[in-house]
Amino acid sequence: MDLGRNDAASLWEALARSLGGSFTARARGMVSPELTLLSARGEPFGHIRADKIGGTQVRAGDLSATIAPASDRGYRMTTGDADTLAAEPAGSATALRLRSGNSAYEANISPLRNSAVARSHDGEETVRVSGGFTNRRYVATFNPQAPGALPIAIFLLHHTFKLRREAYRTT
């Protein structure tokens, strides 16, 4: 898909407006690396699915994005050919610096509480992801007016789910 930065941003913004600032997710199957995304009305609108080469595919409406490890211990999210989000460690394993477009955010993930919060440079909470004890259900809230908030919510959902799943995986 040959999407420019503006086209990709427009797709994310339209989806954010249609969701109105919140969505839920639920894991499919008992040990599935896939999450089904649901609107506030409980209607499926997409999914997050691990691929066979270590990345993650995000599908939501007309939007198709990829989350993949970056060479700097961070992650990259692309929508088509456009960079949508960059995440890099910010000290500890549970602290991240996120950049989406021209906006920067700080995120903290709590695997024990199964939650994550992202704040803008002025300290305002922009995204919150909270999961249940069993790692099966999540609720995400985001500021639908903030540029990049929905991709950040999707990324934090993915990352929190992945960290939690890896922490409790039996060998």
CA dihedral 15, 63, 29, 21 (to 10 degrees): -10
- In which band, very low, low, confident or very high, does the pLDDT at 23 lie, cut at 50, 70 and 90? very high
Domain locations along the chain = 5-168
| Domain 5-168 -> CATH class | mainly beta
- In which band, very low, low, confident or very high, does the pLDDT at 32 lie, cut at 50, 70 and 90? low
**Whole-number pLDDT of residue 171:** 47
pLDDT more than 70, % of the chain: 90
What DSSP designation does 145 have? Answer: T
Q: Is the pTM of this model over 0.85?
A: yes
CA dihedral 38, 119, 136, 58 (to 10 degrees): 50
